[in-house]
Chain A
């Protein structure tokens, strides 16, 4: 099994150093991985092909941002294009000018229509609507019963004149329901229908008849986010057979990557309006295209991270830093500056949390002490500029003064100085080796734990000069990336 997309891209770009204009081969290498990722996420093949072609064209023509390396560049284009397709026509639920608003649910068997009907009813009720649920699934054993139980749970009345289990005419029930709702002044009519296959002509005709009889304001196509390549056929069949106005993606609380969302959005051009995320009556939310895009790519929020890195790091400043490191002119002042830059990116905990695969680290992250940075900062700020430039002059009395000034102990000060010296050495090595991480992010800081991996082998007790790194060591965090491989993301 392959890892997730970001891991694979790291692999693809292991030896890639080029900055500036993307070459066609850079793009193709990345796109091959992205194609695979999309297929593994169950995006339909025809959709993948069109999508990749579009991304390729844009990537070839695009101006390259200074702060991004080619992999990041392509990934960002991919993300943007994904969001465009997924959310291009995003919209809210439409209500009729003259109530009742009629909403009809349609989809395959087991896609989650009845459960969704309950959630939608609850949601509408919470918005001060007066919904009426209508039991038009007269096919599946006890579907009517199920809707009644759900209606009771969410406190919404259910129109169910037929017991179902193969008896009764759903078209007639739907028609009567509208009449009933008008009489009793319900504001929304929610019609649950039987699950049907796209290729079942008789059942599709029935759905069409229900539509004709009720003239719904919204026909919502309910689709399981675990569906595979068949999503395109099913979506087309429902679009052609019944006609759909919007899409609801269900079971998003599972671990399916949900590529079907992209297939359906692309094939039907209809907006995805809601996401259903659990069995509880409240597990239901508006659809977020950006979150879905990241999920399909299995990238965590790495793109957010790339963006933040872009904002936080000044290219020129970073270059100077890299030179300093190479020349062994790295000082405590630089150390502090880097730390402050790192801070701009937001809390370390949330940063680590954004990394793909970091989910496993969550419990360990809980033990991570952000205050460590504050303490280090306090110690360095208690030094004179001269001391910061040349830590060698730090004698006993200076160290005592610094400890008092920062509210720490001499041992803490000693510890910091030692760690700094070690870190400076490592960074020097790293800087000489060169490394295409996030440009402008010196490896010693940017790739927090990575340099450590090299040293750790013979210095088991060595503590990192980087507080983040050290805290990671202390709490036993093993960050998921391999050492110094030239991550495409510098992470």
Chain B
């Protein structure tokens, strides 16, 4: 991924490429497939392993069924063949053409709205993303519209300092988050930011009032600038509830991409499979730690190879 920025002198596009931190995801995602045997007669253990990776019962059954029918059609029977077929199947299912961030260097500012439940890692994600984009030559403004959680604004402010981004926070304590978001975009326009990222308070998706508030935040931003990305931050340790989160947040805020955080833990994040299948939302970014460089772009093949325990 790179950030394309117009050079000031002649207006010709100048491409700034930022090397992403090297992340060996295949190491991060500890394989759970390595301990099972692939046997066409008994794929029950494969189903179990998929369930344990949080794919969910339905998806696990579906994958096993598809693998069985592919194996029969192609006459696959060795363990290596089956494993390969599974790899191809999974990669094909979660690969997307639209997994890059939808940013346009001709647009000023690009707006990214970050949403999610409490504790998913929104603020940390914004900190890392801001640092990355600033390193790529973009001018950033961060909007601290989480006016609810104690010290959330200060937390974002720390990240803003670390990443050299401007910060727009509430002028008074507990100011309406929609107003803060509005003012952040306003500031982004007047200070000629390339990108404005809006942080929002964590909210559980079954809290109607808070979800309505999110709709309001979105609308207040759109009064000034179109939103390029609405990123839903999902904790990879989350189980089947992630599906309900993705549905509810998409309904109110039109989610365009998912950030899968905490992939450096022992969780596998298999629920993103079901989310992509059912809701058709691409995973765009991953978080693999608390450090400023601990993130990367989601690579389906890397993700799958990690699960299967095959480094490349």
For the complex, what is the distance from the CA of A279 to the CA of B149, rounded to whole Å? 8
* Contact digits for B276-292, partner A, Cβ 8 Å, 1 yes 0 no: 00000000000000100
B120 adjacent to A110 (CB under 8 Å):
yes
A40 adjacent to B150 (CB under 8 Å):
no
Residues on B with beta carbons closer than 8 Å to the beta carbon of A198 = 265-266
B237 adjacent to A45 (CB under 8 Å):
no
Residues on B with beta carbons closer than 8 Å to the beta carbon of A45 = 48, 51-52
B240 adjacent to A251 (CB under 8 Å):
no
Binds B, one of A55-63, A228-236, A415-423: A228-236
For the complex, what is the distance from the CA of A289 to the CA of B271, rounded to whole Å? 27
Whether B80 is near chain A, meaning CB under 8 Å from some CB there, is: no
* Contact digits for B49-84, partner A, Cβ 8 Å, 1 yes 0 no: 001111011100000000000000000000000000
Whether A398 is near chain B, meaning CB under 8 Å from some CB there, is: no
Using A42-B239, A255-B204 as known contacts, say yes or no to A234 and B266 having CB atoms under 8 A apart.
Answer: yes
A112 adjacent to B206 (CB under 8 Å):
no
B53 adjacent to A229 (CB under 8 Å):
yes
Question: Which B residues from 114 to 157 make CB contacts under 8 A with A?
Answer: 117-121, 123-124, 127, 148-152, 154-155, 157
For the complex, what is the distance from the CA of A253 to the CA of B204, rounded to whole Å? 8
Chain B's closest residue to A166 (CB) is B290
Whether A69 is near chain B, meaning CB under 8 Å from some CB there, is: no
Using A141-B159, A149-B151 as known contacts, say yes or no to A109 and B205 having CB atoms under 8 A apart.
Answer: no
Question: Which B residues from 176 to 217 make CB contacts under 8 A with A?
Answer: 204-207
A234 adjacent to B155 (CB under 8 Å):
no
Chain A's closest residue to B127 (CB) is A141
Residues on B with beta carbons closer than 8 Å to the beta carbon of A111 = 119
For the complex, what is the distance from the CA of A91 to the CA of B52, rounded to whole Å? 30
Whether A39 is near chain B, meaning CB under 8 Å from some CB there, is: yes
Contact with B265, one of A141, A199, A255 (Cβ below 8 angstroms): A199
Whether A454 is near chain B, meaning CB under 8 Å from some CB there, is: no
Residues on A with beta carbons closer than 8 Å to the beta carbon of B264 = 197
B51 adjacent to A112 (CB under 8 Å):
no
Q: How far is the CB of B202 from chain A (nearest CB, A)?
A: 8
B206 adjacent to A110 (CB under 8 Å):
no
A226 adjacent to B158 (CB under 8 Å):
no
For the complex, what is the distance from the CA of A143 to the CA of B290, rounded to whole Å? 13
For the complex, what is the distance from the CA of A199 to the CA of B30, rounded to whole Å? 11
* Contact digits for A33-50, partner B, Cβ 8 Å, 1 yes 0 no: 000100111101100000
Residues on B with beta carbons closer than 8 Å to the beta carbon of A146 = 149-152, 154-155
Residues on A with beta carbons closer than 8 Å to the beta carbon of B155 = 140-143, 145-146
For the complex, what is the distance from the CA of A111 to the CA of B235, rounded to whole Å? 10
A255 adjacent to B151 (CB under 8 Å):
no
For the complex, what is the distance from the CA of A255 to the CA of B117, rounded to whole Å? 11
B117 adjacent to A251 (CB under 8 Å):
yes
A142 adjacent to B266 (CB under 8 Å):
no
For the complex, what is the distance from the CA of A341 to the CA of B92, rounded to whole Å? 60
Interface residues in B, total, Cβ within 8 A: 47
Question: Which B residues from 244 to 272 make CB contacts under 8 A with A?
Answer: 244, 262, 264-268, 271
Interface of A is mostly: loop
Residues on B with beta carbons closer than 8 Å to the beta carbon of A329 = none
Contact with B57, one of A40, A147, A224 (Cβ below 8 angstroms): A40
B239 adjacent to A228 (CB under 8 Å):
yes
* Contact digits for A231-246, partner B, Cβ 8 Å, 1 yes 0 no: 1011001000000000
Using A110-B235, A146-B149, A233-B266 as known contacts, say yes or no to A255 and B54 having CB atoms under 8 A apart.
Answer: no
Listed residue (B242, B264, B267) with the most chain A CB atoms within 10 angstroms of its CB:
B267
Using A146-B149, A228-B240, A256-B241 as known contacts, say yes or no to A109 and B262 having CB atoms under 8 A apart.
Answer: yes
Residues on A with beta carbons closer than 8 Å to the beta carbon of B240 = 40-42, 228, 256-257
Q: How far is the CB of A426 from chain B (nearest CB, A)?
A: 39
Residues on B with beta carbons closer than 8 Å to the beta carbon of A42 = 54, 239-241
Whether B95 is near chain A, meaning CB under 8 Å from some CB there, is: no
Size bin of chain A's contact surface: 35 or more
Residues on B with beta carbons closer than 8 Å to the beta carbon of A197 = 262, 264-266
Whether B238 is near chain A, meaning CB under 8 Å from some CB there, is: yes
Contact with B239, one of A147, A237, A260 (Cβ below 8 angstroms): A260
Whether A259 is near chain B, meaning CB under 8 Å from some CB there, is: yes
* Contact digits for A187-213, partner B, Cβ 8 Å, 1 yes 0 no: 000000000011100000000000000
For the complex, what is the distance from the CA of A234 to the CA of B240, rounded to whole Å? 17
Residues on A with beta carbons closer than 8 Å to the beta carbon of B204 = 251, 253-255
Listed residue (B119, B155, B205, B264) with the most chain A CB atoms within 10 angstroms of its CB:
B119
Q: How far is the CB of B262 from chain A (nearest CB, A)?
A: 7
Q: How far is the CB of A304 from chain B (nearest CB, A)?
A: 23
Q: How far is the CB of B184 from chain A (nearest CB, A)?
A: 19
Residues on A with beta carbons closer than 8 Å to the beta carbon of B123 = 141
Q: How far is the CB of A51 from chain B (nearest CB, A)?
A: 15
Question: Which A residues from 1 to 39 make CB contacts under 8 A with B?
Answer: 2, 36, 39
Residues on A with beta carbons closer than 8 Å to the beta carbon of B150 = 118, 145-147, 149-150, 153
Using A153-B150, A229-B239, A254-B241 as known contacts, say yes or no to A224 and B268 having CB atoms under 8 A apart.
Answer: no
Residues on B with beta carbons closer than 8 Å to the beta carbon of A65 = none
A227 adjacent to B237 (CB under 8 Å):
yes
Whether A376 is near chain B, meaning CB under 8 Å from some CB there, is: no
Q: How far is the CB of A71 from chain B (nearest CB, A)?
A: 20
Chain A's closest residue to B243 (CB) is A1
A109 adjacent to B119 (CB under 8 Å):
yes
Q: How far is the CB of B190 from chain A (nearest CB, A)?
A: 27
A255 adjacent to B266 (CB under 8 Å):
no
Q: How far is the CB of B58 from chain A (nearest CB, A)?
A: 8
Chain B's closest residue to A150 (CB) is B150
Residues on A with beta carbons closer than 8 Å to the beta carbon of B151 = 142-143, 145-146, 148-149
Residues on A with beta carbons closer than 8 Å to the beta carbon of B51 = 39, 45, 229
Whether A72 is near chain B, meaning CB under 8 Å from some CB there, is: no
Whether A165 is near chain B, meaning CB under 8 Å from some CB there, is: yes
Q: How far is the CB of B183 from chain A (nearest CB, A)?
A: 21
For the complex, what is the distance from the CA of A36 to the CA of B30, rounded to whole Å? 25
Contact with B238, one of A36, A40, A141, A228 (Cβ below 8 angstroms): A228
Q: List 14 A-B contacts (CB under 8 A).
A: A109-B121, A110-B119, A115-B118, A141-B123, A141-B155, A142-B157, A143-B151, A143-B155, A150-B150, A198-B265, A224-B235, A229-B268, A234-B237, A256-B244
Give chain B's interface residues, CB within 8 Å of chain A. Answer: 30, 48, 51-54, 56-58, 117-121, 123-124, 127, 148-152, 154-155, 157-159, 204-207, 235, 237-242, 244, 262, 264-268, 271, 290
Identify the 4 closest CB pairs spanning chains A and B, nearest first: A228-B239, A110-B119, A42-B239, A149-B150
